[in-house]
Homo-oligomer: A and B are copies of this chain.
Amino acid sequence: MTKQQNILIIGAGLCGSLLALRMGQRGYNVSVCEKRPDLRKVNLDSGRSINLAFSDRGNKAMKLVGIEDKVKALCIPMNGRMLHDIEGNTVFAPYSGREHEYINSISRDQLNALLLDEAEKHKNVNVYFNKKCKSVDFEKTTALFHDYETKNEFIEDADVIIATDGAGSIMRQSYYLGKKFLFSFSQEYLTHGYKELSILPTKKGDYKAYKNALHIWGREAFMLIALPNLDGSFTVTLFLSYADGEYNFNNLITKERVIEFFNKYFKDALNLMPNLADDFFKNPTSPLGTVKCSPWHYKGNTLLMGDAAHAIVPFYGQGMNASFEDVVEFDKVLEEHEGNWETVFKIYEASRKKDTDAIAELAIDNFHEMKGHVNQAVFREKRNLEMTLEKHFPNEYSSKYSLVTFNVNIGYREAMLQGRAQDKAILNMLSDGKLDLKDDLKTILEKVKTATNAILEDDRIAGLKQ
C-alpha cells in the first residue's frame, strides 16, 4: 500500500519540519535528515534572535496541520509600518484598512521547534540531526550523507526524496551538475547585503520602541528595519550596498565610522542601540539573492520545495509564508492524485511555480518601496486612499499589499497583476488630477475599478504576459 512508502526529507528547517508533520499525518514513513544540531537542545549562546513576518498564507498551513493556536501564542501582531524620518519623526502607516488584517513577528527558532515537536509526535516520523547531505542520485532515488557525529558517510534509499534544504540546496546542485536533463536555473544577487543588529529591552524588560509595528528607517539608497521579539527586544536589520555610496559595507570598517553613519542617518535608532558597534562587528554581513529553477522534480523520484526551489529576498515578508503555502498546495494535489508521484509533482509545479515566480518579483519591488517610495507624497496619498477604501468597502477593495498578504484565496501571481494595475491606475489618476479626493468614496472606488480594468484589458490585447 502507498502509505507504507518511505519518504526522505532533506532539511528540518521551517518547510521541512512542516512537511514532515503533514506527511506524518498522512501516514507515510518519514525520515528527515538535517545537517545542523537539534536547535531544541543546543544553547545558541550567540544571543541572536532571528524573527520573521508570519501572515495569512503561512497560517493557512498551520490550520491544515491543526496548530494555529499554538503558533498564535508565539506571535506579536504588527499592524502597520512605523516610518522614521531622518529627524526622528514617526508616522504610522497601517497595512490594511481592515482591522483584522495584520502581520506578525515570530521567532524562527521557536516556530521551528514547535513544528519539530509536533512532527515527532507521530511514530512514523523520525528526525536525524547532524547529517549533512552531500549529493542526491535522483535516478536511483538515494542520497549521500556525511554524519558529523560518527564522521562516516552513508547512503539513504527512499521511495521519494523531497529536498527542503534551503537556498543553497544540495539536491538542486545535483540537478544542476548532473546534466541529465535540461535544468533552468538562476541565482540573482542584489548589490546590497544585510546585517542583523538589535535593540535590547529596557532594564525592566520593556520595549524601547512601539511594539506592534514593523519599524522602517528608509533612506533611498539604504534602510534599517526592526521587528519586535517576545522578550522585549527588537531584531534590527541594516540593508546597505556592499560597494556603492559614501557609506557601504566595504568601507564601514571601524567603530567610529559605523557610529558616524548611524548618527547621520539613524540618530533615533542609534539612541536605542548602545550595543550597535559590538553587534556590527560580531554579526556577519550576508548577501540577498533570488533563486529560481525548473523543473522542480525529477520524474516521480525527487522534488524540491520551499527555498530550495524558490529563494526570495525578504522585503515582502513572504519567504516563510510562501514555503508554508507550498506544503498546503502540495497537499491539495497529493489528496487528488495520491499514488502517482510523477503526476503529483508535475501538477504541483505547473500550478505553483507561476506564484513563487511572482512573489520573487514582488519582493524585489518592495525593497524599492520600503527604502524610498514610502517617503514620497504621491505614494503616501495612494496608500491613504487605499486604507480609506478598504475601511469603507471591506468586501470590494484590497490594495496590492492586502491581495498579496491577506487574500489567501488567490495566488501571488493574480495578486501581483491585479495589484500592479490598481497601483498604476491610482498613481496616474492622482498625478493627472483625475481623482478628486473630495468626491464621494463610492465614485472614487468606481473610477479606480474602471481604470484598473482598462489597464488589464489593454495589457491583454497587447499580448503582454498575464
Residues of A within 8 A of B (CB): 182-189, 242, 287, 289, 292, 368, 373, 420, 423-424, 427-428, 431, 458-459, 461-464
Nearest chain B CB to A185's CB is how many angstroms away? Answer: 6
Query: Are B189 and A427 in contact, with the CB atoms below 8 A?
Result: no
CA distance A461 to B433 in the complex (A): 13
5 intermolecular pairs with C-beta atoms under 8 Å apart: A182-B189, A184-B186, A185-B185, A186-B188, A373-B463
Partner of A186, one of B185, B428, B462: B185
CB < 8 Å neighbour of A185 from B187, B368, B461: B187
**Contact yes or no, A423 B462, CB < 8 A:** yes
CB distance from A15 to the nearest CB of B (A): 23
Contact A458 to B428, CB < 8 A, known contacts A373-B463, A463-B373: yes
Nearest CB on B from A120, distance (A): 35
Quick check: B186 and A463 within 8 Å, CB to CB? no
- Cα–Cα, bound, A464→B461 (Å): 19
- A350 CB to closest chain B CB (Å) equals 12
Closest chain B residue, CB of each to CB of A378: B461
A182, A188, A428, most chain B CB atoms within 10 A: A182
Q: Which residue of B lies closest to A429 (CB)?
A: B461
B187 touches A428 (CB 8 A): no
Q: Which of B182, B289, B427, B463 contacts A461 (CB 8 A)?
A: B427
Contacts of A189 in B (CB 8 A): 182-184
Interface of A is mostly: mixed
A361 to chain B, nearest CB (A): 10
Known: A461-B427, A463-B373. A187 touches B184 (CB 8 A): yes
Bound form: Cα–Cα A292–B287 in Å? 19
Other-chain residue from B186, B373, B428, B463 in contact with A427 (beta carbon distance below 8 A): B463
Checking B287, B368, B373 against A182 with a beta-carbon cut-off of 8 angstroms, the contacting residue is B287
Rounded to whole angstroms, the CA-CA distance of A431 and B459 in the bound complex is: 12
Closest chain-B Cβ to A354's Cβ sits at a distance in Å of: 15
Known interface pairs A182-B289, A185-B187; 9 further A-B residue pairs with C-beta atoms within 8 A, sorted by A's residue number: A184-B186, A185-B186, A186-B186, A368-B463, A423-B462, A424-B459, A424-B461, A424-B462, A428-B461
Bound Cα distance A428, B182 (Å): 38
Chain B minimum-CB-distance residue to A177: B177
Pick from A373, A427, A428, A459 the residue with the most CB of B within 10 Å: A428
Nearest opposing residue in chain B for A292, CB measure: B186
Q: CA A186 – CA B189 in complex, angstroms?
A: 11
* A368, chain B: closest CB distance, angstroms: 8
How far, in angstroms, from A459 to B424 measured CA to CA in the complex?
Answer: 8
Name which of A187, A242, A459 has the most chain B CB atoms within 10 A of its CB: A187
A428→B462 contact, CB < 8 A:
yes
Q: Which 5 A-B pairs have the closest CB atoms?
A: A186-B186, A424-B462, A182-B189, A184-B188, A431-B461
A184 contacts which chain B residues (CB < 8 A)? Answer: 186-189, 289
Contact of A462 among B182, B427, B459, B463 (CB under 8 A): B427
CA A462 – CA B427 in complex, angstroms? 6
Write out the residue numbers on chain B whose beta carbons fall within 8 Å of the beta carbon of A424: 458-459, 461-462, 464
A191's closest neighbor in chain B, by CB? B182
What's the least CB distance linking A189 to chain B, in Å?
A: 4
Nearest CB of chain B from residue A172's CB, rounded to whole Å: 13
Q: B residues within 8 A CB of A242?
A: 182
Q: Which residues of B contact A428 (CB under 8 A)?
A: 458, 461-462
CA distance A182 to B464 in the complex (A): 32
